[in-house]
Structure 1
């Protein structure tokens, strides 16, 4: 969307937005300034409705939902710009195609000229003076040489442009918040989200599931790190499938994962953990080289619900103790604390 307010009106919107951000413990970053600026301007009724529903449900606006609302309502008109690299690549391909056609046409014409010249030389009755044939061949040889040189320059330029586009796309895909192996959010996002929830004036009901893959080091030693990575990738996919926004699934570190359930009580968190436990122990991975089917993958779960006046560290520690109890009592089980 476009902002067309004058400086006085803009200052007034900002004056209204900042106290609301403080009230609901919204991190003061550019994205949230723009989101709440738009909210107080009342220009996007659907944004205001969704924001009001979110605040009523959670007592704040979790980071994940803030980003979603920002994409949907603040920069939806500009998202088409993300297709610029693709459009540039298409234009580049079309340009190269035209130059290929030109080069092919020059080559074809030159081939015909060579055939005509040979025919003329083989028929002395119809043959023009040799000097004329040589001059014509020389002119066309120069022409095709120039066309070929231009085409080579276009190819070289295209290679540089493709390399630049590739680098730009790779930078776009690199997100400091995403774990590259599993595709899940990382610990940094988890900490930010949890701090925001706990810092809210009235924190919403929040539960935490800590997950640890059983005997993962032994699994790596026995089957190799590539197989271990496959297991981690499967975990990432499973968590993404099972955890819909605003539930936050992250790779906590190594073979440990965490799920932050905003607005969900302990009972529902334990139910989700039990569902995931069954799905994990049903994993079957086949080794390509040996054909061996691996079916010994399990995980342990610790579940806790946020209590009043509890810090983030205390909350995580309680869930971790529940996880430790699950591992101590035989693994492949869910323990609540």
Structure 2
């Protein structure tokens, strides 16, 4: 999107945007400046409607939702692509084009030379002339072979470079906020979202579920870390499948996970957690070598509901206490913090 305002109008929009960001506890980063600048300019009514709904629901605009709205309304996906990678691909294409033109010219010249040689052979019967023609054919054949070989090498190198660029592009696109093993958001994202909700001026129902895989250290000792990683990956897939927006599942650390449920109370969270506990209990993992079915995967859950004026740290601490209560009470169960 292009911003065509003059300096005075731009300054006015900024003066309107900053107090709103402060009011709704919006982190002061460039993305949010652009988002709220666009909001106060009212140039995209659909964006304003979505932000208004979000503020009404959460009392703030959670970072992940803000980023999503920024991508959908303020910029196009094409702009988000790596300019450097695009430039490299363009240069690569131009180089191949030049090499193809060079090879085509050599091929054309070689064809003309063949025609001339055939004509000369038909017109001359001198052994000396025939020898000269054959030598010329040999030299040009070697030349065209070298040219074709060079072009083939250029294509091969280009394919290798394109694969490398593709891998680099995928690497740069990989979100640093994503846990690579489970595919869930990491604790940094969780902290940012929870701090923002806790700091919002409007209090809204927020439940936190903490869950921990039971006896995971023993599982790793018995079956190996590769099997342990397989379990963690399964947990990641299960949580992503079960947690619908605005529920935010994250890998909190090690074998511990957290689910932030904005707009839900502890009763809703308990029902959700119990359903999840039963699905985890039903996990069956087969060992490749022995063919043995592993059926001892369970998890314990602790739930807390944020009270008014409670900090993010206090909410986590109470959920942790409920989680440890679940573990100390025999594991594979759900406990709610008082």
Same fold (TM over 0.5): yes
**Partner Cα distance (1:233, 1:86) in 2:** 33
The alpha-carbon deviation at position 93 of structure 1 amounts to: 8.0
2:188 is the alignment partner of 1:183 = no
**Partner Cα distance (2:157, 2:269) in 1:** 57
Cα-to-partner distance string for 1:265-300 (whole Å, 9 max, x where unaligned): 111111110110011011111111111111110000
**Partner Cα distance (1:239, 1:91) in 2:** 43
* 1:39-118 correspondence runs (5 A): 39-75=39-75, 77-79=76-78, 82=81, 99=100
The alpha-carbon deviation at position 133 of structure 1 amounts to: 1.6
Gaps of 5+ in 1: none
Gaps of 5+ in 2: none
Shift in CA distance, 265/4, structure 1 to aligned 2, threshold 3 Å:
same
C-alpha contact 2:92 2:158 (8 A) present in aligned 1: no
**Partner Cα distance (2:19, 2:211) in 1:** 38
Cα RMSD after superposing both structures: 3.2
C-alpha contact 2:96 2:154 (8 A) present in aligned 1: no
The alpha-carbon deviation at position 167 of structure 1 amounts to: 2.5
For 1:146, the equivalent position in structure 2 comes to 147
C-alpha contact 2:247 2:261 (8 A) present in aligned 1: yes
**Partner Cα distance (1:236, 1:193) in 2:** 19
Cα-to-partner distance string for 1:49-97 (whole Å, 9 max, x where unaligned): 111111111111111211111111111x353653975897699689869
For 1:167, the equivalent position in structure 2 comes to 168
Shift in CA distance, 170/94, structure 1 to aligned 2, threshold 3 Å:
same
3-state SS of paired residue (2:81): helix
C-alpha contact 1:96 1:154 (8 A) present in aligned 2: yes
**Partner Cα distance (1:284, 1:130) in 2:** 80
2:334 is the alignment partner of 1:303 = no
C-alpha contact 1:302 1:324 (8 A) present in aligned 2: yes
For 1:7, the equivalent position in structure 2 comes to 7
C-alpha contact 2:208 2:259 (8 A) present in aligned 1: yes
TM-score w.r.t. the length of structure 2 is: 0.86
**Partner Cα distance (1:70, 1:194) in 2:** 20
C-alpha contact 2:240 2:249 (8 A) present in aligned 1: yes
For 1:35, the equivalent position in structure 2 comes to 35
Q: Which runs of 4+ in 1 moved over 4 A?
A: 83-100, 124-128
**Partner Cα distance (2:4, 2:90) in 1:** 34
C-alpha contact 1:62 1:246 (8 A) present in aligned 2: no
Cα-to-partner distance string for 1:119-155 (whole Å, 9 max, x where unaligned): x9xxx99997233222222222223223323443454
3-state SS of paired residue (2:132): helix
C-alpha contact 1:299 1:331 (8 A) present in aligned 2: yes
C-alpha contact 1:65 1:246 (8 A) present in aligned 2: no
For 2:248, the equivalent position in structure 1 comes to 248
3-state SS of paired residue (1:5): coil
C-alpha contact 2:182 2:235 (8 A) present in aligned 1: yes
Cα-to-partner distance string for 1:296-336 (whole Å, 9 max, x where unaligned): 10000001100112121111111001100111111110001
C-alpha contact 1:177 1:185 (8 A) present in aligned 2: yes
